[in-house]
Every structure is written in C-alpha cells, then in structure tokens.
Amino acid sequence: MAPPDTDTIAHVLSLYRPQALAALLRTFRDLDLALNAWQDAAMRARLLWPGNGLPGDPLAWLVACGRNAGLAPVSMHGQALSDPDYVADSVDANIGIQRNADFIPFREDTLRLLYICASPGLPPSYQIPLLLHLVCGLDVQQIAHAFLIRQPAMEQRIARAKRRVAETGTSFEQPAAHERAERLKTVLAMVYLLFSEGYASSSGRQYIRMELCEEAIRLARLLARMFPHDGGALGLAALLMLQHARAGARVDASGALILLDDQDRRRWNQALIEQALPMVDTALHCRELTPYQIQAAVAAVHAQAENAADTDWAEIDRLYAVLQVVHPSPIVTLNRAVAVDKLRGPTAALVLIDPLAAELSGYAYYFSVRGMLLKRLGRNGDAQAAMLRARELVNSAPVASHIDMTLNLL
C-alpha cells in the first residue's frame, strides 16, 4: 500500500481531532495541556505516517501519543520528536489501548468537549470561537478572519473563554442526565448560529463565508452520527446541507445577490441534496418535534422543485403554521408571510406582518420584505420608506447593494 500523502494525513487528523482532544482533556483536565498534547501527537503523525503508513487505529494512536507527550517530563519535550525510543513508546502504546477491555468511550469524550464549549457560563460570543478552536481545529487567525475581527482581539476572546471555563469550575465529566438535553440544545443552537453567519454574513463585503458553513455542516453531521435518533440533531444536519446546496447559485460572479426565485437550480449541489432528503424524512419521524426538522422540511420543498414556479407554497405555508406552534417567533411569522404572498397576495401578507413592527423595528429583513410587498401593491412611496430603513440597518455590502438596486426601481 502506498504511504499516505500530506492531504490524506491532514484529512485523518481533522477527522479524529475532536475525539482525540476530548480524550486527552479527560486525562489532563486542563484545556491548554490537552491542546499542547494534541499538537504534539499531530506533529508526530505528520513525521511518522508518511514512512510507516497509517496505523490500524489512528484515533487510538493519536490519543496514546498525546498522553505520552502530556505525561513526559518537561525536559524531554525539546527532544521528543527526534528521540527514537520516545517515538517508539508512543506507537507501541497503540497496541495497549486497542487490547484494553476498558476502551476509551470516544463518543462520550467528544460530547464532553462539545458540552464544555456550550457551558452556561459562557456567552455566545465566547462559545462559538471556542467551539471552532477546540472542536474544529481552526487557528486564531482563521477564526478572526471569519468573523472580521482583528487577531489580537480574537486571541483575547478565546483566552478569556478558556479562563472562564477554569474559573467557573466547568466539569470535564458528563453533565447530569437532567442537564444533557438542555446542553445538547445549546450545542445545536451554537452550530446553527455558526452556519447562519456563514450563510448570510452580517457584515463585510463577502455575503457567503464558505469556511463557516462547511465547519458548521461538519459539526452538524458529527452530532447526527452521535444522536441518530434525535430529531433536532438530524434535522439540523439536513437543514444546513439543503441550505448550503444552493451556495453556487446565490451570488453572481461579481458577488451580487441572486434571490431564490432567480437562481439557476442547475448550479445547486444535487449530491448534497440527495444526501439530506432521507435525513429530513427520518428526522420528521422522531418522537420530539423541533424547529430544525420543520425548517429542514421547508428547505426540502424548495430543493425538490424543478423551478421556482413549481414550488409547493401551500405545503410551505402549512409547515410554517406548524412551526409557529412549535416555536412561536416573529421571524417565523415573517417567513410565513412570503409563502402567504405567493398564495394569497401581498395584502394578506401585510396583514400578517403589520403587527410585528414593534418587535422587529431593528431587523432589516422585516423592512425589506415589507418594502417588496408594498412595491407589489404599487405603493412606491411607502415601499421606498421601508427599503430606506432596511438600508440603514444592514452592515453587509452585498445586501446593501441589493437594496440600492431595488430603491433605484421605485
């Protein structure tokens, strides 16, 4: 068998990072020590695997190397990579782990890592960067770039998150049974927020941030594999995959927005859609119904329409009606208004969203939807006022440009 190339090794390290780091964290109970041990193990893999080939169990190999690195005397760290006996000990430890009857419960370890990122004591502004750093393996520079924040500021944010974990005494054990469901909901919400920022960036000149979308999907798929009978986990993974399948058609060559009705559906990722659709069906048959399953079902209706005219808006309206019961929210009502407009016209849609004015007074999408409905009724003065308010509220250059184009037509 040919030795693994650099790309293969990078893929394997990315695949096993969450489980290995989580197992090391359970051993050392210190975030920085576990991260250093993982980095040492990954460095050894890059050094040894091209010559020796991939081990039979890469995950166990990495955990063993990381444990050896973390437990080694400080004086050995400088020479560890060049010391044959030290390296041999790391490789041989793989056999011990594989034969140990008390094999490391990697699934539970990964959950611990996710639950640490979702600690109640951490605000979302800390949770998501910590998730990207610990679970996804993004370095601080990548995270700072993704969120359009200067690197020193992001370094401080992640350092504060780690310090908060230590100061609040966050347990590295599994949460109690009554806490797990709530903590999982927080993890799912974190992944959803991460994807949302990538799907439609809230600021800057780039509308879609592919790296955030792809990391969110990777995490969502991991959670779906860990919880194959959880409707929320399955629904979230399917939803993100279906939404991301449209990425190739959502902006033009200059970066300008293309609305759903105007997208070239031949550019949608059909392979991703075909993977997601069965997951939607499975998720809808799970016992607990969450917003993610219903939103995934809405996305599936869009994905299965050959063109905009074939969209089953009656089914979308029905799904949003269910979502309003499961998860009452002015945003859900606003989204439902788009379906109502398609079915019963702009007047009926305005009746639905007019009561939301106070709650959504700072939400740009509310005013852009209202502006489009008013435009369709020929009320151009009112439409212009709504669009100008939407323009004031956006920080995303592509969205602002799209609103400007609409204003020019009024």
Q: What is the pLDDT of residues 287-338, one digit of tens each?
A: 889 999 999 999 999 999 999 999 999 999 999 999 999 999 999 999 999 9
Q: Confidence class of residue 91 from pLDDT cuts 50, 70 and 90?
A: very low
Q: Confidence class of residue 345 from pLDDT cuts 50, 70 and 90?
A: very high
Could you tell me the sign of the dihedral formed by the alpha carbons of 152, 158, 162, 167, in that order? positive
Element (H, E) at 371: helix 364-376
227 φ/ψ angles, rounded to the nearest 5 degrees: -125, 70
State mean pLDDT over 20-44: 89
Q: What pLDDT was estimated at residue 92? A: 40
d(CA 100, CA 217): 33
Side-chain half-sphere of 78: how many Cα atoms within 13 Å? Answer: 2
| Range from 86-100, 132-146, 255-269, 374-388 carrying the lowest mean pLDDT | 86-100
Amino acid at 228: P
Quick check: 74 pLDDT over 70? no
State mean pLDDT over 90-110: 44
* DSSP conformation letters of 150-168: -HHHHHHHHHHHHHHHHHT
State mean pLDDT over 27-38: 88
Quick check: 95 pLDDT over 80? no
Per DSSP, 78 falls in state T
State mean pLDDT over 352-365: 95
Q: Confidence class of residue 97 from pLDDT cuts 50, 70 and 90?
A: very low
| Range from 80-84, 214-218, 296-300 carrying the lowest mean pLDDT | 80-84
Q: What pLDDT was estimated at residue 90? A: 40
Quick check: 96 pLDDT over 70? no
Q: What pLDDT was estimated at residue 98? A: 38
CA of 138: how far to CAs of 100, 133, 250, in Å? 32, 5, 26
Q: What pLDDT was estimated at residue 16? A: 86
190 with 172: CB under 8 angstroms? Answer: no
Quick check: 3 pLDDT over 90? no
State mean pLDDT over 79-85: 43
Higher pLDDT, 279 or 183: 279
3-state secondary structure of 217: helix
Quick check: 76 pLDDT over 70? no
Nearest to 175 by CA among 245, 95, 113: 113
Nearest to 233 by CA among 290, 276, 273, 176: 290
Nearest to 107 by CA among 20, 191, 218, 212: 20
State mean pLDDT over 12-29: 86
323 φψ region: left (φ > 0), alpha (ψ -120 to 50), beta (else): alpha
Q: What pLDDT was estimated at residue 169? A: 62
Element (H, E) at 357: none
Q: What is the pLDDT of residues 126-170, one digit of tens each?
A: 888 888 888 888 888 888 877 778 899 999 999 999 888 887 766
Q: Confidence class of residue 18 from pLDDT cuts 50, 70 and 90?
A: confident
Q: What is the pLDDT of residues 190-199, one digit of tens each?
A: 899 889 988 9
d(CA 186, CA 207): 26
Looking at the chain, the whole-number percentage of residues with pLDDT higher than 70 is 88
d(CA 6, CA 143): 23
CATH architecture of 324-410: Alpha Horseshoe (1.25)
Q: What pLDDT was estimated at residue 147? A: 76
State mean pLDDT over 180-208: 85
Quick check: 81 pLDDT over 50? no
Quick check: 82 pLDDT over 60? no
135 with 117: CB under 8 angstroms? Answer: yes
- Mean model confidence pLDDT for the chain: 86
Q: What pLDDT was estimated at residue 48? A: 93
Q: Confidence class of residue 105 from pLDDT cuts 50, 70 and 90?
A: very low
65 with 41: CB under 8 angstroms? Answer: yes
Q: Confidence class of residue 342 from pLDDT cuts 50, 70 and 90?
A: very high
Q: What pLDDT was estimated at residue 172? A: 61
Q: What pLDDT was estimated at residue 276? A: 97
Q: Where are the domains of the chain?
A: 6-104, 324-410
Q: What pLDDT was estimated at residue 173? A: 62
Quick check: 14 pLDDT over 50? yes
